[in-house]
């Protein structure tokens, strides 16, 4: 079955995300588009994101296909709740009890979970209008709670993908156990992620958990590659947040500068820690060596990464960063940390170098070691990286696994 088949013959599902599309969620876009290629009719629903600043034309196209639960403000939520009160009062009572149960375990106020219930009533209506009975949610946070509450209203079911690290940091507050218990299936993006779900789920629910890697689209899988540059240019990509470890990266750069190791670092991203990062750069006098360029489109990130010798990801906590996959797909080695699912993809000394998280000295050493590689060694490392990511993270292959799970519902 393919995208040209009669739409009436296509399997219908819905996707629910807290914010879609966004620049950091290209893997969700890849998944949806590939599902459509493989014969599904996907209804896109998001809680918010209709007014997000987007740099990528593909994301702009996705936004035009997406409906938003909160776009109309409070009144549509109230009306959806009232409509459910009169049409399915018993089911609404059951869903309300579940919302209260989730609220008692949560660090968020009880009223927030009642809002999730109202969102679930709206989701129920949108799914009915689209002729959809199953919704797949990404991230085991609020969107999955809304999907679960919607299923408690009857006639619908849900599944979800767990990414980490937030789901594992707050597993009890998010009541991950309950979400796994009620789901038709759960997708983990790595073996590490699956192990963390096992920690919190009932043992009888372990069989529901499947490893479905985030997949790269054809723009990466089939991309042309270039040889690494002569300039000692490195790049890092990520939200400026504590879990991403950029402060350690800057301190590693300071250690390189103290040893007179020539380097240039481009930092792509932005976020709440930007002022602290700027202060750290100024404190070490690294303004000429480190450039902050803000968020860029997917095509721009690919272009900038292609002008570098390697991607550096100094994370403290992760799921499995898509930026690592994307850099590997264009034959760029990775310098990263032994965190979460990263060692499942990047092997130390093969596709790049891995160090212990928070180890500035170790990170500086890995960066220096890579910058000292000759062209042939760097190209060989990049080719291994490209081959490994194409083998493990092709959207066509990974979505085929997901397709079988949907068809079995």
HEC profile of the chain:
CCCCCCHHHCEEEEEEEEECCCHHHHHHHHHHHHHHHCCEEEEEEEEECCCCCCCCHHHHHHHHCEEECCCCCHHHHHHHHHHHHHHCHHHHHHHHHHHHHHHHHCCCCHHHHHHHHHHHHHHHHHHHHHCCCEEEEECCCHHHHHHHHHHHCCCCEEEEEECCCHHHHCCCCCCHHHHHHHCCCEEECCHHHHHHHHHHCCHHHHHHEEECCCCECHHHHCCCCCCCCCCCEEEEECCCCHHHCHHHHHHHHHHHHHCCCCCEEEEECCCCCHHHHHHHHHHCCCCCCEEEEECCCHHHHHHHHHCCCEEEECCCCCCCCHHHHHHHHCCCCEEEECCCCHHHHCCECCCEEEECCCCHHHHHHHHHHHHCCCHHHHHHHHHHHHHHHHHHCEHHHHHHHHHHHHHCC
**Residue 247 domain flag:** yes
**Residue 118 domain flag:** yes
By percentage, how much of the chain surpasses pLDDT 90? 91
CATH number of the domain that 244 lies in? Answer: 3.40.50.2000
**Residue 228 domain flag:** yes
Of the pLDDT bands very low, low, confident and very high (cuts 50, 70, 90), residue 10 is confident
Of the pLDDT bands very low, low, confident and very high (cuts 50, 70, 90), residue 82 is very high
Question: Mean pLDDT throughout 80-98?
Answer: 97
pLDDT over 70 (residue 5): no
pLDDT over 70 (residue 51): yes
Q: Are residues 269 and 400 in the same domain?
A: no
pLDDT over 90 (residue 311): yes
127-159 tens-digit pLDDT: 999 999 999 999 999 999 999 999 999 999 999
**Residue 1 domain flag:** no
Q: Are residues 244 and 176 in the same domain?
A: no
pTM (2 d.p.): 0.93
Q: Are residues 179 and 309 in the same domain?
A: no
By percentage, how much of the chain surpasses pLDDT 70? 98
Q: What pLDDT does 88 receive?
A: 95
Q: What pLDDT does 303 receive?
A: 94
Structural domain of 162: 7-215+394-407
Question: Mean pLDDT throughout 271-290?
Answer: 98
Question: Mean pLDDT throughout 79-97?
Answer: 96
Q: Are residues 134 and 226 in the same domain?
A: no
Question: Mean pLDDT throughout 198-219?
Answer: 96
How confident is the prediction for the chain on average, in pLDDT?
95
Q: Are residues 183 and 235 in the same domain?
A: no
Q: Are residues 70 and 173 in the same domain?
A: yes
Q: Are residues 183 and 253 in the same domain?
A: no
Question: Mean pLDDT throughout 376-388?
Answer: 97
Q: Are residues 186 and 319 in the same domain?
A: no
pLDDT over 60 (residue 33): yes
Q: Are residues 293 and 307 in the same domain?
A: yes
| Number of domain units in the chain | 2
């Amino acid at each position: 079955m393919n995208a040209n088949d009669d739409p009436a013959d296509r399997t219908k599902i819905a996707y629910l995300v807290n914010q879609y599309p966004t620049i950091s969620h290209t893997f969700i876009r890849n998944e949806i588009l590939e599902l459509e290629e493989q014969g599904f009719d996907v209804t896109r629903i998001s809680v918010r994101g209709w007014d997000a600043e987007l740099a990528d034309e593909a994301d702009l196209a996705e936004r035009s296909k997406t409906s938003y639960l909160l776009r109309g403000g409070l009144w549509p939520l109230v009306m959806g709740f009232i409509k459910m009160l009169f049409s399915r009062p018993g089911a609404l009572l059951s869903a309300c009890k579940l919302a209260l149960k989730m609220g008692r375990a949560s660090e968020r106020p009880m009223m927030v979970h009642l809002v999730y219930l109202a969102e679930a009533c709206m989701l129920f209506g949108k799914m009915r209008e689209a002729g959809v009975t199953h919704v797949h949610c990404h991230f085991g946070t609020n969107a999955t709670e809304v999907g679960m509450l919607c299923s408690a209203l009857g006639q619908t079911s849900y599944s979800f993908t767990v990414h980490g690290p937030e789901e594992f940091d707050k597993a009890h507050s998010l009541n991950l156990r309950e979400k796994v218990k009620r789901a038709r299936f759960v997708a983990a993006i790595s073996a590490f992620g699956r192990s963390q779900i096992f920690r919190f789920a009932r043992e009888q629910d372990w069989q529901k958990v499947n490893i479905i890697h985030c997949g790269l689209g054809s723009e990466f899988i089939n991309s042309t590659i270039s040889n690494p540059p002569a300039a000692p240019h490195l790049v890092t990509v990520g939200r400026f947040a504590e879990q991403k470890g950029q402060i350690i990266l800057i301190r590693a750069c300071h250690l390189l500068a103290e040893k007179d190791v020539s380097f240039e670092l481009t930092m792509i991203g932005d976020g709440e820690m930007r002022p602290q990062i700027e202060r750290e750069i100024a404190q070490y006098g690294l303004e000429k060596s480190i450039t902050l360029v803000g968020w860029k489109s997917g095509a721009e990130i690919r272009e900038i990464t292609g002008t570098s010798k390697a991607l550096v990801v100094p994370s403290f906590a992760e799921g499995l960063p898509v930026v690592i996959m994307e850099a590997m797909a264009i034959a760029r080695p990775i310098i990263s940390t032994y965190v979460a699912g990263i060692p499942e993809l990047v092997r130390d000394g093969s596709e790049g170098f891995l160090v212990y998280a928070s180890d500035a000295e170790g990170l500086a050493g890995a960066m220096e070691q890579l910058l000292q590689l000759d062209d042939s060694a760097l190209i060989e490392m990049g080719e291994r990286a490209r081959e490994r990511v194409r083998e493990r993270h092709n959207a066509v292959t990974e979505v085929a696994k997901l397709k079988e799970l949907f068809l079995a519902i």
